[in-house]
Amino acid sequence: MRRRVDLAFTLVTACGACVACAVLGGIVAALLVRGLPAVSWRFLTEQIRLVGADGGIFYNLVGTLILLATALMVSAPVAMGLALVEGVYLAGAARWRRRVHLAIYLLNGVPSLLFGLFGFVVFVKYLDWGKSWLTGGLLLGMMMVPTVTVALTERIRGLPRAYVEAAAGLGLSRSQIIWSVILPQSLTGWLTGTLLGLARAAGETAPIMFTATIFAGATIPSGVKESPVLSLPYHIFVLSQDSFDPAVGARVWGTAVVLLGVVGGLSLLALPFRLRQHEEARHD
C-alpha cells in the first residue's frame, strides 16, 4: 500500500513537471520558429520605420535597458536598507519584524497596473513630468524591491552568527560590521534577487505604458521631463493589437524573441550565483 501511494505520488509529481516543461518548451519553440527569421543584425541596430513594418528595434532595446538600469539603481539601496532593518536592526523585535515582512509581501502582491496608475497620478500629473524614463525606472525598481529584499534577507539570516560575534569581539561598531561582514557576505543574495527581479521587470508593460514609454519617435533621453523612451514590451503590445500586415507580424515575433533573450540572459546570469549559494549552504 505504502509503495503504491509512493508510486502514485511520484507519477503525479512527474506529470506536473512534464506539463510545466512542455508549456515552457512550447512557448519558447513557437516564439523561436516565428521570430528567429526576423532577427538580424539590421533588426537590432536600426530604428523603427513605417510604423513597425520596416527597420529595427534598436531604440526599443536601448529604452528597455535604460529602464532596467534605472530600476537596478533604485531597488538596490531600498532593498538593502529594508533587508538591514529587517535582519539586523529589528533582530530583537519580532513584532516589528513581522510587520516589515508583511509590508514586503503586500508590496509584492500589488498588481503592476496599480503601480502604473500610481506613477501616472503622482509623477506624470502631479509632478508634471509627463512621460519620463525616470518614472518607469522608479516604478519598476519599486516592483523589484520585494524580490531583492527577500533574497538578501535570507542570505543575511543564513550568515553564521560566529562572523558577527568575531567582528564585534574585535571592537567593530554595528555599521562597520554591516559594511565589512554582513553586506559583502550577502552580495550573492543581492545579485540573485536583482537579476530575477530585472528579468521580470523587463517584460512588464502595465507600469510603463502610461508613464514612461511611447511607440515611436523617442531616442536616447536627454532630460527628465517629457523624456519618454521606446521599449520592447510596449512595442509588442501595440503592434500585436492592431496589425494585419504580415511584415509587421514577423517583426512582432522577432521583438518577442529579443525580449525573451534579455529575460533569459538575466535569469541565466543569476544561475551560477544561486548554485554557489546552495553549495555554501551545504558546507556550513
Query: For other proteins, which residue of 10, 45, 180, 219 counts as binding (CB under 8 A)?
Result: 180
Determine the Cα–Cα distance for residues 165 and 53; give it in Å rounded to an integer: 63
CB 59 within 8 A of CB 230: yes
Reduced to 3 states, what is the DSSP secondary structure of residue 40? coil
Q: Interacting stretch for other proteins, rule CB under 8 A, among 16-24, 115-123, 161-169, 221-229?
A: 161-169
Give the cell for residue 35.
521570430
What dihedral do alpha carbons 79, 81, 87, 91 form, nearest 10°? -150
What percent of the residues of the chain are helix, what percent strand, and what percent coil, each to the nearest 5?
80, 5, 20
Least distance (Å) between residue 176 CB and other proteins: 5
Among 47, 108, 112, 185, binds other proteins (CB under 8 A): 185
Nearer to other proteins, 127 or 166 (CB): 166
Query: What is the three-class DSSP state of 43?
Result: helix
Which residue in 37, 97, 24 sits closest to 251, CA to CA? 37
One residue of 32, 122, 172, 224 binding other proteins per CB under 8 A:
172
Candidates 57, 84, 167, 202; binder of other proteins (CB under 8 A) is: 167
CB-count exposure of residue 261 (10 Å: 0-12, 13-18, 19+): middle
Residue (5 or 162) nearer to other proteins, CB: 162
Q: Which of 171, 242, 244, 282 binds other proteins (CB under 8 A)?
A: 171
**Which of 10, 13, 45, 176 touches other proteins (CB under 8 A)?**
176
Each residue of 181-218: b (16+ CB within 10 Å) or e?
bbbebbebbbbbbbbbbbbbbbbbbbbbbbbbbebeeb
Asked if 173 is part of the footprint of other proteins (rule: CB under 8 A), the reply reads yes
Taking the complex as a whole, the smallest distance from the CB of residue 94 to other proteins amounts, in Å, to 10
Residue 54 touching other proteins (CB under 8 A): no
Binding mask 68-107 for other proteins (x = CB under 8 A): -----------------------xx---------------
Query: Which is closer to other proteins, CB of 181 or CB of 216?
Result: 181
| Cβ contact 182:84 at 8 Å | yes
Contact between 240 and other proteins (CB under 8 A)? no
Out of 65, 181, 248, 263, name the contact with other proteins by CB under 8 A.
Answer: 181
| Contact set with other proteins (CB under 8 A) | 91-92, 161-173, 176, 180-181, 185
